[in-house]
Amino acid sequence: MRASDRAYRKLLDEIVAGELPAGTVLGEVEQSERLGVSRTPLREAFNRLAADGMINAEPGRGVVVSQLSLETVTELYEVREGLEEQAARLAAQRADKEVFKKLWDEFENSKSLILGGELGANVFYELNAKFDDAIDEAIQNPYMVTTLKNVRNHMARVRKLARSNPARLLEAASETQLIVEAIATGDAALAAHATHVHLHKSHSRVSAAVREQLAKLNKEVA
Amino acid sequence: MRASDRAYRKLLDEIVAGELPAGTVLGEVEQSERLGVSRTPLREAFNRLAADGMINAEPGRGVVVSQLSLETVTELYEVREGLEEQAARLAAQRADKEVFKKLWDEFENSKSLILGGELGANVFYELNAKFDDAIDEAIQNPYMVTTLKNVRNHMARVRKLARSNPARLLEAASETQLIVEAIATGDAALAAHATHVHLHKSHSRVSAAVREQLAKLNKEVA
DNA sequence: GTTATCTTTTCTGTATACAATCTTGTTGTT
DNA sequence: AACAACAAGATTGTATACAGAAAAGATAAC
């Protein structure tokens, strides 16, 4: 694997995981030494991250990990709404229905697991990743897939900032299951509307969690 | 301006203008010499173009200008549908209505000009650019704006491949005018639906034009 | 005490040199 | 004649050195 790829992957992981929090200033020399690569591949990684919207190059000061706020979360959801409703519609028209029928069963079977504490969250996230992959495969639109992937990276970052409780995860799983059902039956309109509903509720849940998190951070400062 | 920016801008312009047609293989040394920059900034430009989806890095062979086909045009329109309907909805809710009322007048006044031959096309494209800018300003969502900008670059490339005749341009202008009207009156549903209609018809028109163009190219080969 | 300017230092942007990998052409063998 | 292996060439990926610009700090003047 290329050094620039390693640097990109590592930095992206660390940003998404919150190990490099929003506002962190990244120097070229500093980071190239830390990651064990020279400045050339590191700059390549920086450029890709900037194209992803994960960092912003501030004139003179270096690159800064981009901010996360209630506003940016809302912006993200507005894009998701447009993109994922369309994706759900297309998937309903084009998907291999068997794949989504099996996925529906998996959602059904995992419901009890999701409520079961710490491990439950992992089950949920793995299932969601499977759902995303199935969508990508179904829509047969590489351009849309790359756009979706970027959105998902940003969402992963938001989720890490504010993890949800099992009850909320189960709620989200049920909403997603309805989308899966709509796609499995080829009901494009329902797939789009169910996605709208899911995103609306998800936005509420995530906003609440982020609000709490930000309040906690402010408390610590005070 | 930085050398990497110049290289990026130049290459993007040339790809969009069709001077570097799809399938063209770009060597690093070759292009760096042609553009008068060293390989380092040129590679930066290549990376940005690859992130934009304008070129694909083929293992070993170098980078290749990405293909344009009826399929990729359809893919592009599917993304536009999701994104621009949402953008129109948001604009209807948030726009400064005065801006769009004035824009409506401009569309109205330009109708005769658009039908008037060669210069007409320029009037049309300038007005469309104004419309895009007004949308970007109205939606107040930087993340969505960057995504839209990328889509528009790809669309510009498609349009250059197959220019339309004045009658079709006027049709497109009328459709866009209805979107403007909906936004000016704050009618989000109409804005979204008018956008859907416009994209549907635009897709038909562009597909037909691209089909012709591709047929012509095949004729030349034979 | 404040402000302005100059100097020092750090950082970014670019060029180039070097190493490793992949391509392609040629030669030899079956 | 066809296929495989090897060698020559080209091309990409990485490191590093250098130049230019910008920021921070210190010193001097008002």
- Rounded distance, CA B188 to CA A207, Å? 24
| pLDDT score for A221 | 61
What is the side-by-side order of every strand in the sheet holding B55-58? B25-26, B62-65, B55-58
The answer to whether the Cα torsion of B53, B58, B62, B67 is positive or negative is negative
> Which residues on chain A are in Cβ contact (under 8 Å) with B84?
82
- Rounded distance, CA B168 to CA B191, Å? 21
Question: What's the CA–C1' distance between B44 and C4, in Å?
Answer: 40
- Rounded distance, CA B139 to CA B132, Å? 11
Which pLDDT tens digit goes with each residue over B58-99? 876 789 999 999 999 999 999 999 999 999 999 999 999 999
Of the candidates B51, B79, B154, the beta carbon closest to that of A51 is on B51
**Residue A218 confidence class, pLDDT cut points 50, 70, 90:** confident
Half-sphere exposure of B155 (CA within 13 A, CB side): 21
Residues 6+ apart with CB under 8 A from B143: A53, A72, A75, A76, A79, A154
A42, closest residue in chain B (CA to CA): B44
| Single-letter residue type at B149 | K
Please check whether residue B154 is in contact with residue B147, taking contact to mean a CB–CB distance below 8 angstroms.
Answer: no
Q: How many CB atoms lie within 10 A of CB A118?
A: 7
Query: Which one, of B209, B210, B218, lies nearest residue B70 by Cα?
Result: B210
| pLDDT score for B221 | 62
Instruction: State whether residue A216 is helix, strand or coil.
Output: helix
Which pLDDT tens digit goes with each residue over B178-196? 999 999 999 999 999 999 9
Q: Which residues pair with A180 in a beta bridge?
A: none
Please check whether residue B194 is in contact with residue B175, taking contact to mean a CB–CB distance below 8 angstroms.
Answer: yes
Which pLDDT tens digit goes with each residue over B19-54? 999 999 999 999 999 999 999 999 999 999 999 999
Residues 6+ apart with CB under 8 A from A47: B44, B47, B48, B51
A75, closest residue in chain B (CA to CA): B141
Cβ contact, residue pair B51, A48, below 8 Å: yes
Query: Which one, of A111, A78, A109, A97, lies nearest residue A207 by Cα?
Result: A78
Of the candidates B51, B78, B147, the beta carbon closest to that of A79 is on B147
Q: Closest residue to C20 by CA to C1' distance?
A: A2
Of the candidates B72, B87, B147, the beta carbon closest to that of A147 is on B147
| pLDDT score for A118 | 73
To the nearest whole Å, the CA of B123 is away from the closest chain A CA by 30
Please check whether residue B85 is in contact with residue B189, taking contact to mean a CB–CB distance below 8 angstroms.
Answer: no
Instruction: State whether residue A56 is helix, strand or coil.
Output: strand
Using the predicted structure, report yes or no on whether residue B222 has a pLDDT greater than 80.
Answer: no
Tokens standing for B115?
Answer: 């039908």
Cβ contact, residue pair A79, B86, below 8 Å: yes
Interface test with B, best of A86, A135, A150, A155 (most B CBs within 10 A): A86
Measured torsion, CA atoms of residues A176, A178, A184, A187, in degrees rounded to the nearest 10? -120
> Which residues on chain B are in Cβ contact (under 8 Å) with A192?
none
Interface test with B, best of A1, A47, A80 (most B CBs within 10 A): A47
Look at A69-73, A212-216, B195-199 and tell me which has the smallest mean pLDDT.
Answer: A212-216
